[in-house]
Amino acid sequence: MALVNTKKMFEMAYKNGYAVGAFNVNNMEITQGIIKAVAEKKAPLILQVSRGARAYASISYLKAIINVVIEENPDIPIAINLDHGDNFETCKQFVDDGFTSVMIDASKQPFEENIEVTKKVVEYAHSRDVVVEAELGQLGGIEEDVVGVDDVSKHVADPNQVVEFVEKSGCDSLAVACGTSHGAYKFKTEPKLAFDVIQEIEEKLPGFPLVMHGSSSVLSEFVDLINKYGGDMPNAMGVPEEAVSKAAKMGMCKVNIDTDLRLALTAKIRQVFAEKPGEFDPRKYLGPGREAIQEMVSHKLDVLGCAGKAAECM
C-alpha cells in the first residue's frame, strides 16, 4: 500500500535537504500527468484537494481517481492532503474520508484563536493517524476561494511566535508566510522572499518541517503560449525556481504547486485549438495538456530535489 501520511517524507526531506512536491488535483488528466512524472522520477508525492476542487468535481470522484493512482503505484509513497481547510468541520470530513493529512488555515484569525482551532483539529486527526498542517502569517494573491493580502511583505510569519504556536497547537508541519503569493500574478516587481525569516524560524524549530505555499513559478513558456494563442496574461510573475530550491534546503519540506499545473494545461489546449480550429475531440486537446503537465512536473521534481527519493520515504 503506497498510501502514507507525511511524517516519514518530511523527516527524510529535512534530513537530506529537499522538498516534496504537493500538487493540487481537479480532474483525471491533471492527476495522470502528475503521477506519470512522479513514477518515472521515483519521487514521493503529495496530492492535494482544495475546497474549490471539491466543489467542482465532488470528493467522491476525486478520491476515486486518487485511489486508482495509489493502487497502480505501490512503490510510490503517496500522501493525500486537504489544502486550506477553513474550519474544524471541513477538516473532520476529510479525515473521515480517508485523507492522511489535512491543513487547517486559521491564519486570518488572531494568534490565540489560530492555536485553539488548530489544536482542535490536531486532537481529532491524531486520534486517526492523520497529520495536520497549520499556517502562520498571511499569503498574498487569490487562488480559488483563498484570498490573501495585498502587501505580502507586511504579513510574513513572526519567528517569535512559532515555538509557542507549535507547542500549544501540536501541529505536525507549519506553513509560514515568507513573501510568496497565490495565483499567476504573485508580484508587481522582482520577488524577494524573506529568507532571513525562514532561517530564523528554522533555528527556533530545528528539525521541524516547514511548508511553502504559493510556490508556482508561473513558467514563461506557458504564459507565452497562452498569450500567443489568444490569451491575455500581462505581467504574470511567479516565484523564481532558484528561490524554491534554496528554500528546500532551509527546512521547507513541502512545496505547493497549483498555478503551474493550470497554466500548462491551458497553454496546450489553446495551442491545439489555434493550430487545429476544427478539433472537437476532447482526447485530442486534453491529451497534449496532460503531456505538458507531465513534463512540467518532471522538471519541478528536479527543482525540489526529491527525484529518486521515493524508496527512502516509504
Residue 2 lies in a domain: no
Percent of the chain's residues with pLDDT above 90:
79
Q: Tens digits of per-residue pLDDT, 95-150?
A: 999 999 999 999 889 999 999 999 999 999 999 999 999 999 866 444 455 444 44
pLDDT 10s digits, 255-273: 999 999 999 999 999 999 9
Specify the pLDDT at position 126. Answer: 98
**H/E element, 245:** helix 241-248
12 inside domain: yes
Strands (E), the chain: 20-24, 45-50, 78-85, 101-104, 131-136, 142-143, 146-147, 173-176, 210-212, 252-257
Q: Is the pLDDT of residue 284 over 80?
A: yes
pLDDT of the residue at 105: 93
More confident residue, 238 or 97: 97
> Which one is catalytic: 75, 83, 145, 172?
83
Residue among 261, 257, 298, 287 at smallest CA distance from 36: 298
Asked if 136 contacts 165 with a C-beta cutoff of 8 angstroms, the reply is yes
CB 70 within 8 A of CB 2: yes
pLDDT digits (tens, 9 = 90+) for 54-87: 889 999 999 999 999 999 999 999 999 999 999 9
pLDDT band of 52, cuts 50, 70, 90: confident
* CATH code: domain of residue 273: 3.20.20.70
Model confidence pTM above 0.85: yes
Judge whether 289 lies within some domain: yes
The predicted structure's pLDDT at residue 185: 55
**193 assigned to some structural domain:** yes
Question: Is there a domain that residue 43 lies in?
Answer: yes
Q: Report yes or no on 84 lying in a domain.
A: yes
Q: Per-residue confidence at 189, pLDDT binned at 50, 70, 90?
A: low
Residue 218 lies in a domain: yes
Question: Domain limits at 223?
Answer: 7-313
Q: For residue 130, tell me if it sits in a domain.
A: yes
Q: How many domains does the chain have?
A: 1
Q: Is 281 a catalytic residue?
A: no
